[in-house]
């Protein structure tokens, strides 16, 4: 089993999802050879909570992965709670070796700069290669287009549980991820051992980068080139599993942790050779329009999943937790609420697409505020964040077309920019994924009553986890050498 997790890749960013100018690549081949989801949702519109949900099958609010900062920061003393049971922990119990390479973003240290008590080894991963315990952020830019130099306090790379670069270099990052993932797969195959690989990419989060070893170009500028490098990396791993003769025995899932950046921001930056737009959805990362939470999703398993199929059911990324556990012969925990459903019958073709009249409901929280629900064909918004147009973003553009400030016009919740809707907004996102046409509340009273009833059922099972994303503790800040004020080290 393999999960390829992209970072901030939007619903319409891939050629196979309809982008008119993005080049075709191996991820698109996966879509032709397997199942493509048209209504797959992340649980959150930013990194840490969505990743916690993917690996546990549980809403972030139950886990405690919510709070003031919305994500884990380098000096946070908290991480994914040890009492949460992750996918690799369950798979380990049924004989799988689990490995990870790439971005983690679920905690690092507790109260010392090198304790590493929240890193992947403590959550079921037997093997851990090169990884970014935090993430690849704006201030890690090496091109000097955004700033003079990267900030070491935000930009560091680990090998297993040891810092090897602070700040880190992007130049061979993707190839390193691929090479190490390939080694892990080959070792497990040689030992005739089933494996789970979690390959979590830095593309296409800012700072945007293209490795010197690939040097892809694109009609879409640097953003499209990043998609090409991401797709190339997926293709290299797919070549491996084919050459090793394990293609028919390997279930592969590609998705993104949340949506990309707002459509109008991307339109502007595309014109300026930076980022490109979603095709049909509005909003993006950090907010709860479709662009922030509806993501690409592809499952491939030759001989088991029919090629070229489209799954139009409402599916959550949390469903992959439950489904992977079932397919591996494991058992989901019975002592807690698991929000992911087992969709084995859907993906193996023994059950046709579920009728929308079944009206599955998905809950979308920003911290502990319920922003929206997806219910059947409909989306109900209790809160929204404003989305500026490209003219309003133009002032944030510097010389050469690169932004000179952060592009979130609204990020924190609660905050003054968050808009409350009472009564709520309703959209038919099957017919109107851009959420442009608000429905008449008077004609949807029954829908709102059903949502109210389902919310009451949900709340009856909801026990909030301890809030983890509000605490910072400076001694937790990773530092390769505390004798250096800058904590800057680049080891050979």
Task: Quote the DSSP letter at residue 355.
Answer: P
* pLDDT surpasses 80 at 334: yes
Mean of per-residue pLDDT scores for the chain: 91
Judged by average pLDDT, the poorest of 263-272, 328-337, 429-438 is 263-272
- Give the best-scoring range by mean pLDDT among 15-19, 30-34, 209-213, 264-268: 30-34
Same domain, yes or no, for 472 and 449? no
The reply to whether 309 and 388 lie within a common domain is no
**pLDDT for residue 269:** 47
Tokens representing residue 449 in the block: 């009553």
Tens digits of residue pLDDT in 364-391: 999 999 999 999 999 999 999 988 666 6
Alpha carbon distance 9, 363 (integer Å):
21
Q: What are the distances in angstroms from CA 442 to CA 319, 370, 378?
A: 34, 23, 15
407 vs 289 pLDDT, higher one: 289
**Highest mean pLDDT (candidates 20-24, 274-278, 280-284):** 20-24
Q: Which two tokens stand for residue 455?
A: 């919310």
Decide if 32 contacts 226 (C-beta within 8 A).
no
Separation of alpha carbons 286 and 385, rounded Å: 9
Give the separation between CA 413 and CA 66, rounded to whole angstroms.
Answer: 10
Nearest CA among 168, 194, 180, 308 for reference residue 249: 194
Indicate the range of 209-213, 273-277, 374-378 predicted with least confidence: 273-277
Phi, psi of 302 (to 5 degrees): -55, 135
Q: Say whether both 298 and 187 belong to one domain.
A: yes
Mark residue 109 as left, alpha or beta (left: phi above 0; alpha: psi -120 to 50; beta: remaining): beta
Same domain, 259 and 201: yes
Considering the candidates 47, 140, 397, 479, report the single residue annotated as catalytic.
47
What's the structural domain count of the chain? 2
Region 436-440 average pLDDT:
95
- Looking at the fold, whether 453 and 473 belong to one and the same domain comes out as no
Q: What is the mean pLDDT of residues 147-158?
A: 92
Taking 60 as the threshold, does the pLDDT of residue 424 lie above it?
Answer: yes
Render 10-67 in DSSP notation, one character per residue. -TT-SGGGT-SSSPP-HHHHHHHHSEEESSEE-S-SSHHHHHHHHHHSS-HHHHT--S
Residues 112 and 162 in one domain: yes
Q: Are residues 128 and 160 in the same domain?
A: yes
- CA-angle at 157, arms to 297 and 259, nearest 5°: 25
The domain that contains 400 carries what CATH number? 3.30.1120.10
**pLDDT tens column, 385-420:** 988 666 665 566 655 556 656 667 789 999 999 999
Residue 229 belongs to what H/E stretch? helix 221-243
Predicted local distance difference test score (pLDDT) of residue 282 = 82
Q: Are residues 15 and 80 in the same domain?
A: yes
3-state secondary structure of 389: coil
191 and 321 housed in the same domain: yes
User: Domain of 351: which CATH number?
Assistant: 3.40.720.10
Q: Can you tell me the mean pLDDT for 174-188? A: 98
Q: Are both 374 and 412 inside the same structural domain?
A: yes
Q: Does 47 participate in catalysis according to the annotation?
A: yes
Percentage of the chain exceeding pLDDT 70 = 90
Confidence check: pLDDT of 272 > 70: no
The pLDDT, as a whole number, for residue 68 is: 96
Cis? peptide before 414, omega within 30° of 0: yes
Q: Is the separation of the CB atoms in 194 and 90 below 8 Å?
A: no
pLDDT surpassing 50 at residue 148: yes
What range does the domain containing 6 cover?
2-356+467-490
Q: Which of 101-110, 206-215, 253-262 is the least confident region?
A: 206-215
Instruction: Give burial (CB, 10 Å; 0-12/13-18/19+) of 409.
Output: middle
Instruction: Give the integer Cα–Cα distance in Å for 19 and 368.
Output: 34
pLDDT at 276: 42
Nearest 5°: the CA angle 287, 310, 374 is 30
> Active site residue: 105, 123, 205, 261, which one?
105
When pLDDT is cut at 50, 70 and 90, the band that residue 251 belongs to is: very high
pTM reported for the whole predicted model = 0.95
Residues whose CB falls within 8 Å of the CB of residue 363, separated by 6 or more in sequence, listed in order? 59, 370, 373, 458
* pLDDT, position 404: 58
Residues 178, 106, single domain; the answer is: yes
Mean pLDDT to the nearest integer, 329-340: 97
Average pLDDT (17-32) is 95
Is 105 among the residues known to form the active site?
yes
Q: How confident is the model at residue 268 (pLDDT cuts 50, 70, 90)?
A: very low
Tell me which of 15-29, 34-48, 237-251, 269-283 is least confident.
Answer: 269-283
Average pLDDT over residues 232-239: 98
- Do residues 256 and 285 make contact, with C-beta atoms less than 8 angstroms apart? no
**Is residue 477 located within the same domain as residue 408?**
no
Helix axes 173-190, 221-243, angle to 10 degrees: 10
Q: What's the pLDDT at 355?
A: 54
């Amino acid at each position: 089993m393999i999960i390829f997790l992209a970072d901030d890749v939007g619903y319409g960013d891939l050629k196979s999802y309809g982008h008119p100018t993005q080049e075709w690549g191996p991820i698109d081949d996966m879509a032709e050879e397997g199942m493509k989801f048209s209504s797959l949702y992340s649980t959150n519109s930013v990194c840490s909570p969505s990743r916690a949900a993917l690996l546990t099958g549980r809403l972030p609010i139950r886990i405690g992965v919510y709070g003031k900062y919305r994500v884990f920061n380098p000096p946070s003393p908290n991480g994914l709670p040890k009492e949460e049971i992750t996918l690799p922990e369950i798979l380990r119990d049924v004989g799988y070796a689990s490995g990870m390479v790439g971005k983690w973003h679920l905690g690092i240290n507790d109260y010392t700069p090198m304790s590493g008590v929240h890193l992947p080894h403590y959550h079921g991963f037997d093997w851990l290669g090169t990884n970014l315990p935090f993430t690849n952020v704006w201030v890690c830019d090496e091109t000097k287009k955004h700033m003079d130099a990267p900030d070491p306090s935000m930009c560091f790379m680990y090998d297993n549980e040891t810092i090897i670069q602070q700040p880190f270099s992007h130049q061979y990052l993707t190839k390193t991820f691929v090479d190490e993932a390939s080694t892990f797969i080959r070792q497990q195959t040689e030992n005739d051992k089933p494996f789970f690989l979690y390959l979590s990419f830095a593309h296409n989060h800012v700072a945007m980068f293209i490795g010197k070893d690939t040097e892809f170009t694109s009609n879409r500028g640097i953003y499209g080139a990043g998609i090409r490098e991401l797709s190339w990396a997926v293709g290299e791993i797919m070549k491996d599993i084919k050459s090793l003769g394990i293609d028919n025995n390997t279930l592969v899932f590609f998705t993104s942790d949340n949506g990309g950046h707002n459509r109008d921001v991307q339109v502007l930056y595309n014109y300026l050779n930076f980022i490109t737009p979603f095709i049909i959805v509005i909003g993006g990362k950090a907010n709860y329009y479709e662009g922030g939470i509806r993501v690409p999703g592809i499952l491939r398993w030759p001989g088991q999943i029919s090629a070229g199929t489209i799954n139009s059911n409402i599916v959550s990324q949390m469903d992959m937790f439950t489904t992977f556990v079932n397919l591996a012969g494991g058992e989901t925990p019975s002592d807690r609420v698991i929000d992911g459903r087992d969709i084995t019958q859907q993906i193996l073709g023994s059950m046709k697409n579920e009728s929308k009249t079944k009206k599955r409901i998905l809950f979308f929280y920003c911290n502990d505020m319920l922003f929206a629900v997806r219910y059947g064909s409909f989306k109900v918004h209790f809160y929204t964040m404003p989305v500026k147009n490209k003219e309003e973003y133009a002032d944030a553009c510097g010389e050469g077309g690169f932004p000179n400030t952060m592009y979130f016009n609204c990020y924190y919740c609660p905050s003054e920019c968050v808009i409350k809707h009472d009564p709520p907004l309703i959209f038919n996102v099957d017919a109107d994924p851009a959420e442009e046409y608000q429905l008449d509340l008077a004609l949807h009273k029954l829908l709102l009553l059903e949502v109210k009833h389902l919310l009451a059922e949900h709340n009856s099972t909801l026990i909030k986890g301890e809030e983890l994303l509000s605490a910072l503790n400076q001694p937790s800040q990773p530092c390769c050498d505390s004798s250096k004020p800058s904590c800057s080290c680049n080891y050979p």
